[in-house]
Structure 1
Amino acid sequence: MTPALDSSSPFRSLAVRNFRLFAAGQVVSVTGTWMMITAQDWLVLSLTDGSGSALGLVTALQFTPVLLLTLYGGRLADRHDKRVLLLGANLVSGTLALLLALLTLTGTVRLAHLCLFALLLGTVSAIETPTRISFVSELVGPALLPNASALSTSYFSVSRVVGPAASGALIAWLGTGPVMLLNAVSYAAPVAGLLLMRPAELLRGPPARGRHRVVDALRHVASRPDLTLPLSLVAAVGLFGLNFQVTLPLIARTVYDADATSFGLLTTALAAGSLLAALAGTARRDRPSGTLVAGSALVFGVLETLAGAAPTLGLAMVSLFFTGLASTYFAQAANHRVQLGSDPRFRGRVMALYTLILQGTTPLGSLLVGALAAPLGPRSGLWLGGLATTLAAALCLVADRRRTKPGPGL
C-alpha cells in the first residue's frame, strides 16, 4: 500500500496509485492535444490566408459532437465500465491523430481534412470527457474528490502552459507535421496508465439498475435550483466567454502581427493563470457556494473585457494571465458545485450535462466570434465575451441571493 499523504497536502489524492497512473497519462496526452490544437489553428490560418470564419468553422466542428452526443456519452459512463470506455476512446483518438499527422507531414492536408478530423476527434471526445470526469470519483472516492478534481484541473492547466509554448517553438523550427505526430504518440501514455491500474482498487458503487435514461438525470437537475443556476451560468460563459481558441490566433496574427512562437506564448500566458487558479483549488474541501461561483464569473467577465483592449503584446499576455486565472477558478468552482451536489446514481449523466453545456455551446460561440471578426475586428470576440459574461454573472448573483433568502422553498 502507498503511504497516505498528509491530509492537508494539496497533493493528497496522489497517494492513490490508480489516480497517480491516471494523472500521469493525462498530463502527457493533454499536452500533446494542446500542441496539436495550436498547430491546427496555425495551419488553418496558413491555408486560408488568416480567415477567421474558417477557424471558427473548424472549432465549431470540433465541438459540435459535444453538443449532440455528450448526454449519450454520460449514459454510457453510468452504464458501462468507465476504464474500458476510456481505453477505447484513447486508442481511437490516437489512430485519428496519426492519420492527420501523416497527411500534414506529406503536405497533402487541406482545410476539408482538418474539418473532417475535427469532427471525428470531437465525436470521440463527446464520450471520453464525461466518462473521464466521472471516473475520478471511482479512483479516489468522495472524500478526496474535491482535491482530485482540482489536481485534474491543475494538470490540464500545466498541459495548456507547456503545450502551446512547445508547439509554437516546434512549428517555427520543424513545421506543423512533427507537432501533429507528437500528439499521436502522446495517446500511448493514458492507454498505458489505464492498463497498469488495479481494477480491484477502484471505488465502484453497486451495479446500477434500470434503463439509465438521460431524462431521469435531467429531471434530477430540474428539481434542484442549486444545480440549475450554476449550469445556466456555465451556458452563458461557455457560449460567449470561452472562445479563446478563435480569438487568440486572430488577435496574435492580425492585431500584434505575431509569429508562431509569440502566438504560443500568448496562449501560454492564459494557461499559466489557469494553472495558478487550479493549484489554489486544491485547498478546497467543501462544496462551493452559489455566490462564489457567480462572483468568480463576474471577475472573469471584467478581466476578459480589459484583455480585449490591451494595446501591446506584452500587456495582452499580462491581462490574459489574470483572465485565465479567473476563468479556471470559475469553471472549477462550478464543476465542484454541480458534481458534489448531484446524486451519485446520476453523476455520469449530470457531468455529461455539465460538459455539454460548457463545451457544447462553443460551436455557436465560435461561429459568432468568427463572423464578427471581419466587420468588427478581432478584438470584438473578447469584448463580447467579457461583457456578456459580466451581465450573466450579475443576474445569477441576484437570483442566488433571492433563492437563499430565509423563507419557504429552496
Structure 2
Amino acid sequence: MPSFRKPLSLSLVRPVTSRPAVPSPRPAGGERPAADGGSSGERSPWRSLRHRSMRWWAVAHLVSNTGTWMQLTVQNLLVLQITGSPAAAGLSISAQAAPGLLMGLLGGAAVDRWPRKLTAALAQVVLGLVALATAALVALDQLNLPVLIGLAVLTGLVATVDGPACALLGNDLVPARDVPSAIGVGSLAHSAGRLAGAALAGVTVATLGTAAAYLANGVSFFFVALVIPFLTLLRPQGRAPDGDDAPLTPEEADTSVRGGLVFFAKRPRLVALAGLNAVSALFGRNYSLTLAVLVTGPLAGSAGSFSAVSTALAVGGIVGAVLGARLRAPRVRLVALLTAGGALLQVLAGLSPGLAFLVVLALPMAVAESVGDTAQNTLLQTDPPPRMRGRVLGAWNSVRTLWGLAAPPTLGLLMEVLGARGALVTGGLVVAAAVTAGTFLHGRRSAVREPVTVSVPVAVTVPVRVGGTLPAQGAAGADGRTAAARAALEPAV
C-alpha cells in the first residue's frame, strides 16, 4: 500500500478563538459605499458627515454644547450671587459629579438594556425640564442653595444615562471605520459650542438676565430630543457590527452590573486605558491649573498673559480633534505614545525660560492630548462587544470622575511642595516613566505568550483497493485499521 508523510503542526499554546470575519454591510439609506482603504476619503476627518443622520447629529451636538456652556458660564456666578461663598460653588460642582462616580455602572447597564434612541431622547427631555425649572426659579428669585444642590444632583443622575446613550447612539449612525471621525467631529462641535456658549452667555446675561441662559440651555436639550427620532441607525441595537451573530460569550450573556465590571477588569485594553488615564490625570493634563500657576508665578506674568497660553491650548485642541478624526483603527499603543509625548512636553514646559517659549509648547501639548482623547474614546466605544458598551462607558465614567476629583488636590499639593516648575517636571517624568514601564512589561508578557509551533512528521497510510474485498466492518486488518476506517481513507478509482 502506498503511503505519504504529512507534517502535523502542534501549538504549545492554546490558540485564542475569534469570530469569523464577514463582509461589511451596505450603508443604510442608499448611500454610496466608502472608498477603498487607500483612498483619501477613508482618511478624511469629515468622512462621517457623508451620512445624513450624522450631519443632523453634529448640528444637534453643536446646539446642545452651546446651551450647556451658556449655563456653565453663569452657574458659578449665580452660586456666588446666592451664597457669596466660593466653597458653595465648588460644592455644587461636586454634587453634580458625584452621581457619575457612584452610579455610572447603573447608568451604563440601563443603556445596554433599554432602547437607545428612546433612552437618549427621554434623558434630553429630563435635562431640558431641569434647566427650565432652574430658569423659572431664578426669574422668580426663589432659588436657594439646597434647591440648587438638589437640581445639580438630579442633573448628575440623568447624565449617567445620557452620556453613554448619546455617545453610543452617535456611533450607531456611522460604520465602525468612521467612528474616529464621528468622535472628532463631536470634539470640534464641543470646542465650537464652548466658544459660542461663553460669548453668548455674556451677551444674554447683559441683555436678558441670568435666567435666559438657563432657558436657552433647556431649549437646546429639547432640540436634540426632537432630532433623535429622525436618525437612522446602521444596525439594530445589541447586534454586533457587520452582521456578526456569533454566540454570546459568558461575559456578554451576563447583563448584570457586576458582569459589566468583571468584563472591564478582565479586558487588558480597558485596564491599560484606565491606568494611562489615571497617571496622566494625577500628574499632568490639568494645564488650566498648572500652567496658570507657572505663568503667574515663576514667569511673573499676569492673568492677561495666561490668556495667550489658553488660546494656544484651545487652538491645539481643535487641531488635535481634526487629526484624531483621521484615525481609522487606533490602538492602546498610540494612546500610550501620545501620553508619553505629552508628558515630555510638560517637562519642557516646566523648564520654560519665558512666556513665548511656553506658548509655543502649549500648542503641541494640546494636540497630543486631543488626539489621544479621540483614540481613547474610539477604543472605549468600539473595542467591547456591542452588548457591553453601555456598561463599559458607565464604568469608565466612574473611573474618570474619580481621577477628575482626585487630580486637582494632588497637583495642588505637588505644587505646594515642589513649586510650579518642580511639579510640572516631576509629574511629566512620572507619567513618562509609568508609560515606559507599562509598555516594557506588556512586551515581555506578549513574548512569553507567543505560541511555539512544532512540526511532527506523521505517517498516514492510504489503502488503495486493487482487487478483492476489505475486511468486514468492525474487523481490523493486518495494519490495525477497520473496514470503516479504510473506506473513509480509500480514494475513488
Q: TM-score range by the shorter chain?
A: 0.7 to 0.9
Instruction: State yes or no: 1:332 paired with 2:371.
Output: no
Could you tell me whether the CA contact under 8 Å between 1:241 and 1:386 is conserved in 2? no
Listed one character per residue, the Cα deviations across residues 63-90 of structure 1 (whole Å, up to 9, x for unaligned) are: 1111011111111111111111101100
Q: Report the alpha carbon displacement of residue 12 of structure 1 after superposing the two structures with TM.
A: 1.6
Residue 398 of structure 1 is matched in structure 2 by: 437
**Equivalent position SS for 1:139:** coil
Unpaired segments of 5 or more residues in structure 1? none
Q: Report the alpha carbon displacement of residue 202 of structure 1 after superposing the two structures with TM.
A: 4.2
For the residues of structure 2 that align with 1:355 and 1:132, how far apart are their CA atoms? 14
Q: Call closer, same or farther: CA 1:35–1:306 in 2, change over 3 Å.
A: farther
How is 1:23-42 mapped onto 2 (pairs within 5 angstroms)? 23-42=58-77
Q: Report the alpha carbon displacement of residue 127 of structure 1 after superposing the two structures with TM.
A: 1.0
Identity, % of aligned positions? 28
Residue 55 of structure 1 is matched in structure 2 by: 89
Residue 52 of structure 2 is matched in structure 1 by: 17
Q: Call closer, same or farther: CA 1:323–1:108 in 2, change over 3 Å.
A: farther
**Equivalent position SS for 2:449:** coil
Q: Call closer, same or farther: CA 1:395–1:370 in 2, change over 3 Å.
A: closer
Residue 129 of structure 2 is matched in structure 1 by: 95
Could you tell me whether the CA contact under 8 Å between 1:242 and 1:362 is conserved in 2? no
Could you tell me whether the CA contact under 8 Å between 1:243 and 1:362 is conserved in 2? no
Q: Call closer, same or farther: CA 1:54–1:144 in 2, change over 3 Å.
A: same
2:78 maps to a residue whose letter is L
Q: Report the alpha carbon displacement of residue 228 of structure 1 after superposing the two structures with TM.
A: 0.9
How is 1:294-373 mapped onto 2 (pairs within 5 angstroms)? 294-301=336-343, 323-365=365-407, 368=409
Listed one character per residue, the Cα deviations across residues 213-255 of structure 1 (whole Å, up to 9, x for unaligned) are: 2332333333332321111121334456566788899999999
Q: Report the alpha carbon displacement of residue 409 of structure 1 after superposing the two structures with TM.
A: 3.2
Could you tell me whether the CA contact under 8 Å between 1:266 and 1:317 is conserved in 2? yes
Instruction: State yes or no: 1:194 paired with 2:237.
Output: no
Residue 68 of structure 1 is matched in structure 2 by: 102
**Equivalent position SS for 1:287:** coil
**Equivalent position SS for 1:361:** helix
Could you tell me whether the CA contact under 8 Å between 1:70 and 1:130 is conserved in 2? no
Could you tell me whether the CA contact under 8 Å between 2:116 and 2:237 is conserved in 1? no
**Equivalent position SS for 1:109:** coil
Listed one character per residue, the Cα deviations across residues 97-145 of structure 1 (whole Å, up to 9, x for unaligned) are: 1111223334443444433322221111111112222223322232322
Instruction: State yes or no: 1:287 paired with 2:330.
Output: yes
Could you tell me whether the CA contact under 8 Å between 1:281 and 1:329 is conserved in 2? yes
Could you tell me whether the CA contact under 8 Å between 1:307 and 1:323 is conserved in 2? no
Could you tell me whether the CA contact under 8 Å between 1:335 and 1:354 is conserved in 2? no
Residue 278 of structure 2 is matched in structure 1 by: 235
For the residues of structure 2 that align with 1:134 and 1:67, how far apart are their CA atoms? 20
Residue 161 of structure 2 is matched in structure 1 by: 127
For the residues of structure 1 that align with 2:362 and 2:53, how far apart are their CA atoms? 34
Could you tell me whether the CA contact under 8 Å between 1:31 and 1:160 is conserved in 2? yes
Q: Report the alpha carbon displacement of residue 16 of structure 1 after superposing the two structures with TM.
A: 1.9
| TM value normalised by structure 1 | 0.80
Q: Report the alpha carbon displacement of residue 308 of structure 1 after superposing the two structures with TM.
A: 8.8
For the residues of structure 1 that align with 2:367 and 2:106, how far apart are their CA atoms? 31
Residue 273 of structure 1 is matched in structure 2 by: 316
Instruction: State yes or no: 1:225 paired with 2:268.
Output: yes
**Equivalent position SS for 2:163:** helix
**Equivalent position SS for 1:233:** helix
Q: Call closer, same or farther: CA 1:242–1:56 in 2, change over 3 Å.
A: farther
Q: Report the alpha carbon displacement of residue 177 of structure 1 after superposing the two structures with TM.
A: 2.8
Q: Call closer, same or farther: CA 1:389–1:308 in 2, change over 3 Å.
A: closer
For the residues of structure 2 that align with 1:249 and 1:92, how far apart are their CA atoms? 37
Could you tell me whether the CA contact under 8 Å between 2:330 and 2:379 is conserved in 1? yes
Q: Report the alpha carbon displacement of residue 285 of structure 1 after superposing the two structures with TM.
A: 0.9
For the residues of structure 1 that align with 2:83 and 2:291, how far apart are their CA atoms? 17
Q: Call closer, same or farther: CA 1:203–1:15 in 2, change over 3 Å.
A: farther
Instruction: State yes or no: 1:105 paired with 2:145.
Output: no
State the superposition RMSD in angstroms: 4.1
Residue 204 of structure 1 is matched in structure 2 by: 237
Could you tell me whether the CA contact under 8 Å between 1:233 and 1:393 is conserved in 2? no
Listed one character per residue, the Cα deviations across residues 11-66 of structure 1 (whole Å, up to 9, x for unaligned) are: 22122222222222111011211221121133334555572x33332221121111
2:109 maps to a residue whose letter is R
Listed one character per residue, the Cα deviations across residues 187-229 of structure 1 (whole Å, up to 9, x for unaligned) are: 1221111022246x54434498845123323333333323211
Q: Call closer, same or farther: CA 1:171–1:231 in 2, change over 3 Å.
A: same
Between Structure 1 and Structure 2, the one with more helix by share is: 1
Could you tell me whether the CA contact under 8 Å between 1:273 and 1:324 is conserved in 2? yes
Listed one character per residue, the Cα deviations across residues 358-387 of structure 1 (whole Å, up to 9, x for unaligned) are: 234323445x379869x959x97x986885
For the residues of structure 2 that align with 1:313 and 1:45, how far apart are their CA atoms? 32
How is 1:255-270 mapped onto 2 (pairs within 5 angstroms)? 270=313
Could you tell me whether the CA contact under 8 Å between 2:53 and 2:232 is conserved in 1? yes
| TM value normalised by structure 2 | 0.68
Q: Call closer, same or farther: CA 1:287–1:125 in 2, change over 3 Å.
A: same
For the residues of structure 2 that align with 1:56 and 1:311, how far apart are their CA atoms? 34
In our comparison, the structure showing a higher alpha carbon Rg is: 2
Q: Call closer, same or farther: CA 1:192–1:39 in 2, change over 3 Å.
A: same
2:267 maps to a residue whose letter is R
